[in-house]
A and B are shown apart, each in its own frame.
Chain A
Amino acid sequence: MISQLERGFYVLLRDIDWFLGEPLSVEIFQRSLLAAIMVGIVSGVVGSLVVVRSMSFFGDALAHAVLPGVAYMYQRVKRGDVPDALTSEQDPLLWGGLAAGIFSAVAIGLLTRTGRVRSDSAIGVVFAGMFALGIAMISRIEGFSQDLTHILFGELFGVSAADLNLIILFSIVILIVVALLYKEFLIISFDPVLARTLNLPTELLRYVLLILIAVTIVVSLQTVGIALMIAMLVTPAAAAGLITHRLHWMMLVAAILGAISSIVGFYASFHMNIATGASIVLTATAIFIIIFIQQSVASYLSTTSLWWFTPDQGN
């Protein structure tokens, strides 16, 4: 009897070991998981700023606007002009995306500066134009649908050593910049009038933030792809916003939720054969829904007396 229980226990342990360990037996999968975790953390932190500043549309637009940069480098890799990330220390796609992302962020910033174009219109114009340019470039490549799918929806199980190095490097730089400029970002987000009366360089700070968002998007490109990028920025941060009421706690919780989404999504993707980006985003969405329902129920209970439950009326 005992030996049977014991054997069952070992089988279970072995299964868990297999479930968690199997995907990590291949080096490329280890890299993918690490990349996904980094992306979860960074998107949570930067996404908190996107959420409190109501910049979701900007984030989504910027994710699409990196396409021509990626497409251009993709063409050159295909033609053999530049080495592929998998065979070299370089990652041309990432640099291409970065250039296009920063260009678009600055273009949107400059268009809205004059006040003659409304900011959502400026975002719409730049985003649609850049995305169309990217599609046009990719459509000229033979067999483009496969390539387009990878770029749009992410190709997590193709993270090269060069990719991973860049993802980690950029992530660390982003986190350091946010930490150093935290109180300035808080002011320009919560109280832009105070920022101006205190003579803070508000324009410069705004551009730094736009560029940070662009870099975050490019770093996350491979994990979730262009189409679902906005979910990584918004969903964990919005969930964190429901349960915290100070910005730095929101960032911390969003980073943790982002990382959890990445880990759970990674395993679901591997074992259930789901596209990685979708699997990570669905996990994040599920977390958001759970927190939302829990908070709604809690606030309902705290304001409603039931026959078996009287809310605490303290302070």
Chain B
Amino acid sequence: MYMTVHVLEKPASSKEHIVETLPPVLAVDKLTVKYQQQIGCENVNFATYPGERIAVIGPNGAGKSSLFKAIVGLHPVFTGQIRIAGNTVRQASKLISYVPQHESIDWNFPVSIWDTVMMVRTRLIGPFLLPRQRDRQAVQSALEQVDLWDLRHRQIGELSGGQRRRIFIARALAQEAKLVLMDEPFVGVDVKVETEIFDVLDILRREDITVLIATHNLAQAANHFDKVLMLNRHQIVFGKPVEVFTRDNLARTFGGTLRMWEEDGGLIMITDDPCHEDHHH
């Protein structure tokens, strides 16, 4: 696969004022995740602040999914710790919204868009009870923000690729989450849908919601995110795109799968990685 990465001094869209004096939304400290006797990711350290958008990049099997699953509490932490707004993962579960890989959703399941978004309020509604006025308003406002309100009665499989992904943004809004983790949301989408996704991601930024996105697309990571975490089993580097997009860091992240050269102020690179396929099954 061929792509050109022009690292812009100032990203195409970025958070204007990130106040790093506030306590971090997510603080990952010397984290190692093991799952079924295998190391997912090792010695990961970073902190993110309200409204930031972070790209997590690395080759297949670099531990991106493991890291995300540990942050949402699906994989146990082996060593180190994860703090979400100062709390443990378990205490903070209602603040975290996890968007799994697109293929893992059963799009033929008999649920409407409304049902899918209302689900995230299950804990807030409480056991045995029906949604209250407050819950219906939260879902309505979330659906209106991502422009799905008119389609709310549709079965989820009837939607386009961009609309399907917007459901999950609406979910994060309805859940009143502070941290959203999206596992490869750009796999198999065209440029039009990609733009559509970034438009709704800007809504989350306005609400000061921090977003972590695992992605293969380096050009996108360089230009649409506030910070980038490069991962290849262990953490290579974490920082602003202009600082971290160097030949050395990219070579260490992607190893032999990447060749690159500089031209016209941008990096041109070729990866052997058939990125837009899903190898997780």
Contacts and interface: CB of A to CB of B under 8 A. Distances in A.
B98 A187 contact: no
B119 A199 contact: no
Nearest to A189: B109
A190 B111 contact: yes
Contacts of A198: 93-94, 120, 122-123
B122 A197 contact: no
Interface residues of B, number: 27
Given A198-B94, A245-B155, A246-B112, A193 B74 contact: yes
Interface string B106-150: 100111100110111011010110000000000000000000000
A249 B112 CA distance: 11
Contacts of B24: none
A189 B109 CA distance: 9
Contacts of A189: 109
B104 interface: yes
Q: Looking at A180, A186, A247, which has the most chain B CB atoms within 10 Å of its CB?
A: A186
B10 interface: no
A250 to B, nearest CB: 5
Given A190-B119, A245-B155, A246-B115, A52 B110 contact: yes
A194 B123 contact: no
Contacts of B116: 190-191
A250 B94 CA distance: 30
A189 B115 CA distance: 13
A196 B73 contact: yes
Contact of B127 (A184, A196, A197): A184
Contact of B98 (A183, A186, A197, A249): A197
Contacts of B106: 190
Contact of B109 (A52, A193, A200): A52
A258 B8 CA distance: 63
A181 B94 CA distance: 20
Interface in A178-224: 180-181, 183-184, 186-187, 189-191, 193-194, 196-200
A182 B109 CA distance: 15
A200 B122 contact: yes
A225 interface: no
A44 interface: no
A183 B119 contact: yes
A187 B122 contact: yes
Nearest to B90: A199
B128 A199 contact: no
A122 to B, nearest CB: 19
B122 A190 contact: no
A180 B129 CA distance: 7
A244 interface: yes
Interface string A70-100: 0000000000000000000000000000000
Interface string A271-312: 000000000000000000000000000000000000000000
Given A183-B125, A198-B123, A200-B123, A190 B98 contact: no
Contacts of B237: none
A244 B119 contact: no
A7 to B, nearest CB: 52
A246 B158 CA distance: 13
Interface string A136-158: 00000000000000000000000
Contacts of B125: 183
Given A197-B98, A250-B110, A186 B119 contact: yes
Contacts of B96: 197
A193 B104 contact: yes
A123 B177 CA distance: 39
Contacts of B118: 183
Contacts of A249: 110
B122 A183 contact: yes
A299 B51 CA distance: 45
Contacts of B94: 198
A-B pairs with lowest CB-CB distance, top 10 = A245-B155, A180-B128, A199-B93, A197-B72, A190-B109, A245-B110, A247-B110, A198-B123, A197-B98, A250-B110
9 contacts: A183-B122, A191-B105, A193-B100, A194-B119, A197-B96, A198-B94, A199-B93, A199-B123, A246-B112
Given A190-B106, A199-B123, A245-B112, 10 more contacts: A181-B128, A183-B118, A191-B119, A193-B98, A198-B94, A198-B120, A198-B122, A200-B123, A245-B110, A247-B111
Interface of A: 52, 180-181, 183-184, 186-187, 189-191, 193-194, 196-200, 241, 244-247, 249-250
